[in-house]
A and B are shown apart, each in its own frame.
Chain A
């Protein structure tokens, strides 16, 4: 069985982010770049499945990313954690791609790699749209097993617990399939020193849009099907009232709620 984990390099989710006024895209130089946090859970899940299924020979794990030169760091992180090889789709035409274009490029790469299982985080911490997994399922014709909090694989079938607002749904499909994970699924490992050293020797294939047969005009800022027209810093909220009042704090808060007609 072959697994591909899709990862995205994002600005550190704990850093303040901003848009670049030149083309209304995310200013990726304004914050440190890291692997999207939920994608680390996807890598971990892939490695745990690999361990259950008998190791790298039986179940190789490939880390796939689409992004600028620098995004190779996120592939490296996956290799350091224990994935076996990497694929980096990099092309100048990709800058400013929307979720639809990104999903089209990922779909082309997945069709080429033809894994039994695609794993990814359910959301990126920068765009936070949470739509690429569903788009990818649509484009690749794979069963959509998104928001998985638990994954079981047996005899070519896959079962996940899909997180819902009220609990979870049990969802079954046959492989090949696509899974996005939520953070309760596992606890991602930290790369070991041995893992970091070993990662340096692991193969990373670099692909261009031409390699994947994707038209450059269909991606990037010009190929986007929606566009940011303008943006502005939100005016800071007007300073509120803060009282230091332990004994009567609850009553004071109730007074406030009453003035606002909440009670």
Chain B
């Protein structure tokens, strides 16, 4: 059985959830082989084995994170050469897609991004045009490189053999062209990452002010969710741009999406329509968001959300 490479996403010594989802997907396509780059500990390798990796390719060292993307491309390329894998799966995050893009150029391989499923023969399913159309695509040249959205598959903990293979990667001068000199973390308040979160609670125009986001954040924290915002809210300066969900912002596909004071214009739908369950709270009964919902409340979010938050806290109690 051919290997299927999975680019590992990890931070602060922990493997991110999307990696386990991709390992699960890889098992349905071949032999899952994780590619761990950067600060790779024995515990990280063990965690990948427990999450389903039969093989763990390791390119360890600080130099992979000191320059933008390119050194990681060299590492993944070296794993591809060592494995003759049948395909490569990466998380469809901003950096995952950039690594995939450069790997595609280097290896003369086709690339498909933002897949929400991959079936036998590496046929990728994508949801396009704000979720209105489902597309089946396949790579026709080279090794299929597919970027898969977080939350597309449920991770199943089937332990793999976890054989460690250390890669000998040559990081070239060209790979070092763009140097990362500082990393600035902005307020996150311990919330999960927006694109990875299982639950996202968002606010839009109806939130009314920067202070208004407090009720959105409280609900998010009660649910252990990430906070998102519509473009109307970020353009108004009520919430930071990096939390924008929609066509010019992030695309999320969580288990549960709660839209508050968001009308549901295509700009926004494009970023959240593949969410599994959608709940909306809006004063306007005619808001298009209600066409999408599994459950909707027509009402003032400043009344509804505090009550919902209290109920969630009480019932989780």
Residues of A within 8 A of B (CB): 13-19, 37-38, 98-100, 103, 123, 125, 128-135, 137-139, 141-147, 149, 159, 161-173, 177, 182-184, 224-234, 236-237, 240-254, 256-258, 260, 262-263
Contact = CB atoms under 8 A, between A and B. Distances in A.
Interface string B283-296: 00100001111111
A243 B102 contact: no
A236 B188 CA distance: 35
B133 A231 contact: yes
A263 B312 contact: yes
Contact of B133 (A18, A133, A248, A252): A18
Contacts of A100: 104-105, 110-111
B110 A226 contact: yes
Given A16-B129, A134-B101, A184-B241, A166 B299 contact: no
A208 to B, nearest CB: 23
B44 to A, nearest CB: 19
30 contacts: A16-B132, A128-B270, A137-B70, A141-B174, A144-B98, A146-B69, A161-B184, A163-B241, A167-B183, A170-B184, A171-B68, A172-B181, A177-B178, A182-B241, A183-B241, A184-B241, A225-B104, A227-B138, A229-B123, A230-B135, A231-B133, A233-B133, A241-B296, A242-B293, A250-B309, A253-B311, A256-B279, A256-B295, A260-B277, A263-B315
Given A137-B102, A224-B140, A249-B303, A243 B296 contact: yes
Contacts of B292: 237, 240
B182 A245 contact: no
A224 to B, nearest CB: 7
Interface residues of B, number: 95
A173 B137 contact: no
B308 A253 contact: yes
Given A241-B294, A253-B308, A17 B184 contact: no
B158 interface: no
Contacts of B178: 143-145, 171-173, 177
A170 B308 contact: no
**Which secondary structure characterizes the binding site on chain A?**
mixed
A162 B279 CA distance: 33
B266 A16 contact: yes
A228 B129 CA distance: 15
Interface string B44-83: 0000000000000000000000001110010000000000
Nearest to A234: B134
Interface in B259-297: 265-267, 270, 277-279, 281, 285, 290-297
Contacts of B108: 225
B294 to A, nearest CB: 4
B267 to A, nearest CB: 7
Given A16-B130, A253-B279, 11 more contacts: A18-B133, A100-B105, A130-B97, A146-B69, A163-B241, A171-B181, A226-B139, A250-B311, A256-B279, A263-B223, A263-B315
Given A146-B68, A170-B182, A229 B136 contact: yes
B181 A19 contact: no
Nearest to A132: B101
Given A129-B113, A146-B98, A232 B305 contact: no
Nearest to B113: A129
B121 to A, nearest CB: 10
B199 A262 contact: yes
Given A17-B129, A231-B134, A242 B98 contact: no
A228 B93 CA distance: 22
B91 to A, nearest CB: 11
Contacts of A250: 297, 303-311
B1 interface: no
5 nearest CB pairs, A to B: A250-B307, A225-B110, A254-B311, A131-B101, A143-B177
B102 A134 contact: yes
Contacts of A229: 123, 136-138
B267 A14 contact: yes
Most buried by A among B128, B199, B277: B128
Interface string B128-170: 1111111111111110000000000000000000000000000
Contact of B135 (A103, A228, A248): A228
A256 B304 CA distance: 14
Nearest to A225: B110
Contacts of B137: 226-229
Contacts of B294: 237, 240-241, 256, 260
B223 A234 contact: no
Nearest to A262: B256
Most buried by B among A184, A226, A247, A256: A226
